[in-house]
Amino acid sequence: MSVLNIPNSKIGLVLSGGGIRGMAHIGLLKAMNERGLEAHEIAGASVGALIGALYANGISTDDMLNFFKQTPLFQYSFFALGKPGLINTIKYKNVFKKHFSENSFESLSKPLYVVATDLINGTEKMFNQGELILPLLGSAALTPVFSPVEIDGVLYADGGIMNNFPKEYLEERCDFIIGSNVSVNGKLTKKELNNSIQLAGRITGLMIYASCREKIGECDVLVEPQELEHIGVLDKKGIDKAFAVGYDKASFALDKVVS
């Protein structure tokens, strides 16, 4: 099998947030598997945290894709009542238990660092021990669609708000960093910015990218498919396309560093 050109490398994997575009992360994992590459530690935000947890729990890439295809986004019984947000995030807890039956960071086969946003104190929170599912739900609670998740009296939301590319948690632990950024900063047409929702999404995306740009550029291998810009963050029809784009881009990038 192919190995990195760096002897005895301890590989760190950073997975950004980005909703459905995060299926490109799964494409990267498939490309890594085919080249005999395995991450030793993982850091992620939002959908990146969830995919990182599935990977650390030994879930295959095919089963990861099926998980996202089969998990409902807008199911009537999941609508939020008396909570901020359209969807009650905590309703997904039973769905997650099917894949994380032990429900702890310690049960995973690899160290995982999950970033969420503390809405009460306005700070970033990193979870890496104890209960697993609630931090995953909090990290992936994309506002304003999904309601915040309460953990120990604190409300948590999308980790990408404060830190969409948590590379710093791996810098002292790993000597080779593979990064996958799906919150891309691609070029749009005027037609793609013709209403308030599109404009707000574009501005938010640019702000998130700007805050992480330096860290993204420091990765030893970076997968950042610009084609993902045209896939909606919550558009499940884009799952297969995002996965395919991620796989193709990752294969090209990894072939430069394996022998």
Instruction: State the Cα–Cα distance between residues 110 and 130, nearest whole angstrom.
Output: 14
Largest pairwise CA distance in the chain: 56
Q: What is the pLDDT of residue 233?
A: 84
Q: Specify whether the CB–CB gap between 133 and 103 falls below 8 A.
A: yes
Q: Is the pLDDT of residue 76 over 60?
A: no
Q: Specify whether the CB–CB gap between 132 and 140 falls below 8 A.
A: no
* Least confident residue range of 19-28, 36-45, 138-147, 240-249: 138-147
The model's confidence at residue 110, banded by pLDDT at 50, 70 and 90, is very high
Q: Please list the alpha-helical segments (H only) found in the chain.
A: 23-34, 47-56, 61-70, 93-97, 133-139, 196-217, 239-254
Report, as an integer, the average pLDDT of 127-140: 98
Q: What is the pLDDT of residue 85?
A: 74
Mean of all residue pLDDT scores within the chain: 89
Three-class secondary structure of residue 72 per DSSP? coil
Its pTM surpasses 0.95: no
Q: Report, as residue numbers or ranges, the catalytic residues.
A: 46, 158
**188-222 pLDDT, tens digit each:** 777 777 776 567 667 777 777 777 888 999 999 99
Q: Is the pLDDT of residue 1 over 60?
A: no
**Measuring CA to CA, which residue among 158, 133, 148 is closest to residue 83?**
148
Q: Specify whether the CB–CB gap between 103 and 97 falls below 8 A.
A: yes
Task: Quickly list DSSP for 75-118.
Answer: -GGGB-SSSSSSB-GGGGHHHHHTT-TT-BGGGSSS-EEEEEEE
